[in-house]
Amino acid sequence: MLLTVDLERLDIQPGHRLLDAGCGEGRHCFGSIYRGATVVGLDLDFDSMRDASKNLRARGEELGRMGAMLQGDAFHLPFADASFDRIICSEVMEHVHDYRGAVAELFRVAKPGAKVAITIPTATSEHLYLRLGDEYFESPGGHIRIFKPRDLAEGMAAAGFDAVGCGFAHGLHTPYWVLRSVMHLPNADDSALVRAYREFLIRATGSPAMARLEKWLNFVCPKSIILYGEKRATPAIQSDSRGNDALSAAA
């Protein structure tokens, strides 16, 4: 299964409630439900998750836990405050204008101490695609910004997430998107070379040797960067010696 987020590093445990905001076809949803989490995926594109939603629900019934997908957007999450133990938001922020607003909404539905993983394309790979043609950014549903990781980190900090680490992924996919850009992106699937490389990527997913190669390539030409964060504990109200309420930051 092709995952951008390291689910072990995100520390998904049995019984956790996990939100995958921008779930697409649900690859992180399926990976998380197998680790014991109750999973909710959300995406604006209903067609992308139509079949995956049925499969996730069926898998959840088999495993004895909930697996569901809903249509919705990252700015108006249909969940109560402090609903989730873990949150994944993969390859979404480069598509939205107010990414800080989207991060703040993720913070709202995260429980105190909840862990979050947000992924974006690397600026290096995005600039490379842009040099090869404008279609990568001008195609419908394309990216509207090239992120510097610091910008996202500052947005997460402003919302209330403490940074706890970062990672890189999909080194094998950078050449694939270079190839697609060279082959005129809207019609790239007509290219036999593009189709052959995609078949290679599918086969590489289950290959330990290719996994080792990609791990090395992730230090050289990663397509995605993952920022891991944790929601700061909510300040607790304590009573001082005079009986007045006072705020003290929780550890």
May I ask the CATH class of domain 17-232?
Answer: alpha beta
Mean pLDDT in runs of 10 for the chain (251 residues)?
91 97 94 96 89 93 94 91 97 90 96 97 87 68 80 94 95 91 82 92 88 92 96 55 35 30
d(CA 172, CA 199): 12
Do 41 and 49 meet the contact criterion of CB atoms below 8 Å apart?
A: yes
For 107-150, write each residue's pLDDT tens digit.
999 999 999 999 999 998 888 887 886 666 666 566 778 888 89
Task: Report the candidate in 69, 60, 1, 5 with the shortest Cα–Cα distance to residue 41.
Answer: 69
> How many helices and strands in the chain, by DSSP H and E?
9, 9
The domain spans of the chain are: 17-232
Eight-class DSSP state of 97: S
pTM for the model: 0.86
CB 94 within 8 A of CB 147: yes
